[in-house]
Amino acid sequence: MNKNNQNKIGIYFFIIILLITVVYTYYQTRSFIKGPVLEIEAPLNGSLLTTNSITIKGYTENISYISINNRQTFVDENGYLNERLLLSPGYNIIKVSAKDKYQREIEKKLELIYLKT
């Protein structure tokens, strides 16, 4: 094998090791890069409701703590939120917040109106 081929093999080997290192680093830090995720599916923000009992449904990722109106709640093993609440007559603001293990926080506010019939 000549010197030129040995240099090419060394360069290819270095590039492969570098790519493996970059992919592994991204894989290990992806939750830190993405941060906490909180999606509220129901009820829709701004809804006009005729019943005082609602179920907040949503999806979370990369969280270690979640609360509704500063009261801790829990998600299932797949990250789905399903919590029942009672509304007061009139205008209601519901604050859903979640934190990840690095204490980064995301917050969603639901503004709902309950019309008592």
> What is the residue range of 29's domain?
1-34
Q: Kindly tell me if the per-residue pLDDT of 13 is higher than 80.
A: yes
Could you give the strand order of the β-sheet that contains 71-73, starting from the edge strand earlier in sequence? 48-49, 105-114, 90-99, 65-68, 71-73
**In the chain, what percentage of residues exceed pLDDT 90?**
50
pLDDT in tens, 28-78: 777 677 778 899 999 989 889 999 899 999 999 888 899 999 999 999 999
Residues 105 and 61 both lie in one domain: yes
- The rounded distance, in Å, linking the Cα atoms of 108 and 66 is 11
**In the chain, what percentage of residues exceed pLDDT 70?**
97
- pLDDT-derived band at 107, boundaries 50, 70, 90: very high
Q: For the whole model, what pTM was predicted?
A: 0.70
Residues 75 and 40 both lie in one domain: yes
Residues 67 and 27 both lie in one domain: no
Q: How many domains does the chain have?
A: 2
Residues 25 and 40 both lie in one domain: no
